[in-house]
Chains A and B, each alone.
Chain A
């Protein structure tokens, strides 16, 4: 399938000796569409525990609407238990605090090895619980998890403080210390990958973690918990709690003994998290929130490449990406051709059983999202956008939606302003460079953006002018563990990945010592 080829070529830009044997499409094994679920409880202090309330909740296969299994449901009492365990693991003098940084790195490397070993199983479980195509889980999500963990494993003993030439007879140095107990709340669109993005930097820098996973997709995170124990992380260093936002999530964000909270999810909930920090202990907050990311196609761009990448930018992962290129601005002279080819591409998109290797698009994650997206499609029609293809439900069970494209979209329409988080592409027309930069920035969001052009001046002008944390030039959704990711404005606060990701998990301590005589 074309999309898969794009995805693969993205993770594998060149045929290098190593990557080739690991990730070639031919190596994807036939999946077991009914993988056994081994873990469905809370993971606290390296032990499996029922919820204090004894409650559980069902997790659903979005391709069928059927219940996969029941999962223990964490609430405030469980959060308290997990925070105690994490606090104890973080105690001054604990094994985790005393560990060599290089050994923390080695544990993260071992975790990456274990995940790599279990790639097929984890990909099956991810697809079952989330609905994303198995070929993508197997060749994109899990390998990126492995790379992210290996990347941060390497940082563990390289996160260096400084010695500082301050004025006077003093010797001054900084220690980069872990912040402490970190609450982490992750979404359902990339369950495994978001878990790795959160754990990698937190553990490399020596923090302990209480993580709440999304109620839609708790299963892979719990399996990874078993690997965390297997590779030898001390008890209490990582605690994983499936649960709901208003109960478990809220307990974490309001907790007086959680030192930091990192959240990935909607802007709406991001506001709540920031507020909760303000009303409790001023815990440090990092947020990775929504987007309405502009994707700008200049008339001099390579048309075929721009059409394919723009398709991928929006439809990848059923459109469930915070960085989805959901406002495609196309220069007027090529607008008609771009539209025609984009529609043709969307119509050929294969929607269906995510365990089928030919499938490019699976179901949306749950009924709530499904209905919300259909609502946006109705609003687009109502507000006068031109429906070019799709626009409806794609199957009689499960949460499948047809790949949808709207043309003649105006900046004021709801579908041009709000995050849809589904397979719905908006194509807008523009004339000039200055105009498109201004329109692209006319949003409360600022997560990602892209520009397609062969002109080096235009590329620099637009990439400098866009108010977005990530700008892709002649590509889209290129993620490396090495490059930072995060948002301007309402799209978030702080950066994940790269060296920048370490800042958000570090307290800097300045130590100043009086000396008898300073010399350079």
Chain B
């Protein structure tokens, strides 16, 4: 994904570069004049203060500045939101009676509004999450618009079946919405995750209570404004900024929420699953962590593989569940690969995410920052070779040097735990069978990459890897049409694509006795 921007900047026409300059100027202007449209809780298409009267601070991770304070939702606010979502879901409500094609039209209108506010949203996203502004603009916002449009198209295509059952019966299925869906999203792609969650849910006719991450609530609240503007009926989408242990916990345990979808850490994923078991057996989909293998064979295009492996790890400050954080390189090209990878990492430009040419911003917060540094130290201690980086970028900020470790062995903590930061592990392998076995020796199973020009190796490895996505000669090649989700402890269910629709529908089989059956 980062390639998109880099090539636009480096190889793009003068006109394209001028456009980028304009965008940057405009975003900096917006930065000076930025207006946050929503800083409250959005329930029933209205803005509410928190029942507790509490607010939470929202910071710019690049500077540590306080951006604003946002109303903090807790259990009582969740109860209010659930009541509103339940009313919106009642039989006979405007939302339930609406033509499916009109639900699609609403999603398309929302996409139009996001497109209109793309610059504002990208600026807000960069400020709030510290991600590179141009990435936010070109990657996150584009994916948001496309996801909304894609599911806009599905709304009137979620088709039941008529089924040739035995006996004198006529049987058909209705694909009905599940009901009130709780959705809890992370801070690494705030607006994009928002779209991934609400689009399939709304397309199928559900109502939603969504909790954005406490670090990054601002774009979600802006989306709430647009949801109202697009014309969604009250109560269909409710947006509650808040913390996991309070608001998130209330959603996960709620007896009147029919389904929960969570994206975040595997540790919290377990809590969400348990909460469903402890409460009303709500349906659970989880999109969790990864320790994704990226396998590079000697017969690949080396320079390209180095570049893809680099962006596969360092994209978004390494804060991706998909990050290719175990790079397995065939021994005959190992030294060369390590050397080129370290050089690439050393050339990375850190700085203010709004400045052009900067390609790595700060980590999201102090907690993540500390955790990443602690894992880097463990790598040094356990004997990995530090090729570059290895520490904070400067003392008073949340930036971390792009770090590459070589001679990493499978038992080291940096080879087993999700780091979620700009730290690349490069391992050596000899044979196809060995690398398959090692790549799969993890409790994660989200994504994987393989670089080779040999069709047999490509197909063998991609079949054998236990991962929800396998990229061959590419990495992070995601699109809204293509399902996304994890094997094993990386999650449960799939997002995006047609597959996501089944996570937001209940199938009802209706069987009618008839007087005489005929084929």
Contacts and interface: CB of A to CB of B under 8 A. Distances in A.
Interface string A488-520: 000000000001000000000000010111110
A431 B154 CA distance: 45
A457 B169 CA distance: 11
A19 B153 contact: no
Interface string A414-443: 000000000000000000000000000000
Interface string B460-475: 1001100000000000
B434 to A, nearest CB: 16
Nearest to A152: B153
B459 A171 contact: yes
Contacts of B14: none
Interface string A45-79: 00000000000000000000000000000000000
Interface range, A side: 35 or more
B149 interface: yes
Interface in B225-245: 231, 233
A171 B156 CA distance: 33
B105 interface: yes
Contacts of A457: 514-515
A516 B456 contact: yes
Interface stretch (B51-59, B95-103, B288-296): B95-103
Most buried by A among B105, B153, B157, B231: B153
A18 B515 contact: no
The range of chain B's interface size is 35 or more
B157 A150 contact: no
A105 interface: yes
Given A19-B99, A460-B514, A517 B460 contact: yes
A18 B102 contact: yes
A461 B456 contact: no
A139 to B, nearest CB: 16
Nearest to B155: A154
Interface string A87-114: 0000000000000011001100100000
A511 to B, nearest CB: 12
Interface stretch (A119-127, A155-163, A266-274, A301-309): A155-163
Interface in A129-155: 147, 150-151, 153-155
A464 interface: yes
B488 interface: no
Interface in B497-519: 498, 512, 514-518
Main secondary structure of the interface of A (DSSP, over half): helix
A464 B157 CA distance: 24
Interface string B254-298: 000000000000000000000000000000000000000000000
B481 interface: yes
Interface string B204-232: 00000000000000000000000000010
Contacts of A171: 459, 463
Interface in B422-479: 455-456, 459-460, 463-464
A9 to B, nearest CB: 14
A298 to B, nearest CB: 14
Contacts of B105: 18, 150
Contacts of B515: 457, 460-461
Contacts of A147: 101
A106 B455 contact: no
A455 to B, nearest CB: 10
A456 interface: yes
A117 interface: no
Nearest to A482: B156
Given A154-B104, A461-B516, A106 B149 contact: yes
A513 B459 contact: yes
Query: For the complex, would chain B's binding face be called helix, strand, loop or mixed by DSSP majority?
Result: helix
Contacts of A16: 94, 97-99, 102
Contacts of A278: none
Nearest to B108: A109
A456 B97 CA distance: 24
Contacts of B455: 513
B157 A499 contact: yes
Contacts of A515: 456, 459-460, 463
A26 B94 CA distance: 22
Interface string B139-169: 0000000100110111111010000000000
A470 B146 CA distance: 35
A465 interface: yes
B185 interface: no
B498 A102 contact: no
A38 interface: no
Interface string A463-484: 0110000000000000011100
Contacts of A101: 481
B263 to A, nearest CB: 23
A17 B516 CA distance: 42
A14 interface: yes
Contacts of B480: 102, 157
A461 B514 contact: yes
B88 interface: no
Contacts of B322: none
Given A155-B157, A482-B156, A17 B231 contact: yes
Most buried by A among B101, B455, B480: B101
B146 A456 contact: no
Contact of A155 (B94, B108, B153, B514): B153
Contacts of A154: 104, 152-157
Q: Which of B94, B156, B516 has the most CB of A within 10 A?
A: B156
Contacts of B5: none
A102 B101 contact: no
B369 interface: no
B82 interface: no
B109 to A, nearest CB: 9
Given A102-B149, A102-B150, A457-B514, A18 B106 contact: yes
B94 A17 contact: yes
Contacts of A17: 94, 98, 102, 231, 233
B170 interface: yes
A499 B456 CA distance: 36
Interface in B74-121: 94, 97-102, 104-106, 108
A41 B13 CA distance: 38
B516 A105 contact: no
Contacts of B100: 482
B96 to A, nearest CB: 10
Contact of B98 (A18, A151, A160): A18
A101 B517 CA distance: 41
Contact of A14 (B97, B106, B514, B518): B97
Nearest to A153: B153
A358 B322 CA distance: 63
Interface in A5-46: 14, 16-19
A14 to B, nearest CB: 5
A463 to B, nearest CB: 9
Contacts of B460: 515-517
Given A18-B105, A517-B460, A499 B98 contact: no
Interface in A146-194: 147, 150-151, 153-158, 160, 171
Contacts of B518: 464-465
20 contacts: A14-B99, A16-B98, A16-B99, A18-B98, A18-B231, A102-B150, A102-B480, A105-B153, A147-B101, A155-B153, A157-B153, A158-B153, A158-B154, A460-B512, A461-B516, A464-B517, A465-B518, A482-B100, A516-B459, A519-B464
Interface of B: 94, 97-102, 104-106, 108, 146, 149-150, 152-157, 159, 170, 231, 233, 455-456, 459-460, 463-464, 480-481, 498, 512, 514-518
Can you list the 7 inter-chain pairs with the closest CB atoms, starting with the nearest? A154-B153, A460-B514, A18-B102, A457-B515, A16-B98, A515-B459, A482-B156
Given A105-B149, A482-B101, 17 more contacts: A14-B97, A18-B106, A19-B102, A101-B481, A102-B146, A102-B150, A147-B101, A150-B108, A154-B154, A157-B150, A460-B515, A499-B157, A513-B459, A516-B456, A516-B459, A516-B460, A519-B464
